[in-house]
Amino acid sequence: MFSRRFDMGVKIGGAVLGASVLCVFLVIFFGVRNTVADVGYRPEQPVPFSHKLHAGQLNISCQYCHAGVENSAHSPVPTTQTCMNCHTAVLPESPKLQLVRDSYEKGTPIEWIRIHKVPDYAHFNHSRHIRAQIDCKSCHGPVEEMGVVSQFKPLSMGWCLDCHRNPEANIVGARPISGVFTGQMHKVKDLLDSTYLYKPIPAQVAAASDLKDMVTPSFGQKQSPLPKYHVDGIPHPKKAGIGPENCSACHY
């Protein structure tokens, strides 16, 4: 019926069409996936807030804004009130802070775009990690150097397990800027009040006279023995195989 040449043309045409459809699909699929959750994901936020300025230059502790990370699963993004602790006085007229002032006056939260997210079928709990003196930097990278926060680690199952199997290679020990408990009280310089003194749990502002060296770390009401091992020069509770590897620990 048709000439062999025509037949061949149809086959090649079909193959090319199929290949390009596949390409387009892959580009869209991975392109979209990439902006959902992956290393480097860096959405544009409603307010041009800079960690580099606030945490890096002004030296505000992570836990001043992300309070509660030591004793709850989540590390909430700060409320507008936290911003206004300073910004009623600092740059009260700045156009960059208009949305913050609006939010404050109307009592509506700022709609920050969520960056880090593990799927619902997997469970991650901040407090257990923070209490084991694992610094934010281990999982979020050098946030205090980031103008805009981006995802630093893949948050994949392999990534979780890598650290659980081999913590020494993956853990950055607690640093004062993060306010992560080190077994001792430490000071974090702050703009407002010159010093904040972080007690392990709850993180609180203590009077200088309350300042005592911790002998034994106290997690909540429980006392646990002093850490024996050191990671990055920081004592760490256990040496190896400390994070769970059984499926039910993370999937239930």
Site for ligand HEC in 87-106 (CB under 6 A): 87, 90-91, 94, 96-97, 100
**Could you say which of 67, 103, 173, 180 contacts ligand HEC (CB under 6 A)?**
180
Q: Does 160 bind ligand HEC (CB under 6 A)?
A: yes
Question: Counting contacts by CB under 6 A, is residue 140 touching ligand HEC?
Answer: yes
**Among 67, 103, 104, 167, interactor with ligand HEC by CB under 6 A:** 167
Does the protein bind ligand HEC through residue 227 (CB under 6 A)? no
> Rounded to an integer, what distance in angstroms lies between the CA atom of residue 88 and that of residue 154?
38
Binding to ligand HEC by residue 74, rule CB under 6 A? yes
Q: Which of 83, 188, 231, 234 is close enough to bind ligand HEC by CB under 6 A?
A: 83
Phi-psi group of 50: left, alpha or beta (phi > 0 → left; psi -120 to 50 → alpha; rest → beta): beta
CB-facing half-sphere around the CA of 237: CA atoms within 13 A: 19
Q: Which amino acid, residue 125?
A: N
Stretch that binds ligand HEC, among 13-21, 26-34, 81-89, 199-207 (CB under 6 A): 81-89
Spatial CA neighbour of 151 closest among 50, 234, 39, 8: 39
| Site stretch for ligand HEC (CB under 6 A), options 5-13, 17-25, 28-36, 108-116 | 108-116
Residue 188 touching ligand HEC (CB under 6 A): no
Candidate residues 71, 82, 184, 218; the one interacting with ligand HEC per rule CB under 6 A: 82
Q: Which two tokens stand for residue 143?
A: 């946030």
Please state the length of the chain: 252
Question: Whose CA is closest to 101, among 89, 113, 115?
Answer: 89
201 binds ligand HEC (CB under 6 A): no
Q: By CB under 6 A, which span of 7-15, 79-87, 197-205, 224-232 interacts with ligand HEC?
A: 79-87
The answer to whether residue 177 forms part of the interface with ligand HEC (CB under 6 A) is: yes
User: What residue has token string 């195989």?
Assistant: 241
Selection from 108, 141, 139 nearest residue 126 by Cα: 139
Half-sphere exposure of 201 (CA within 13 A, CB side): 18
Residue 178 vs 182, nearer CB to ligand HEC: 178
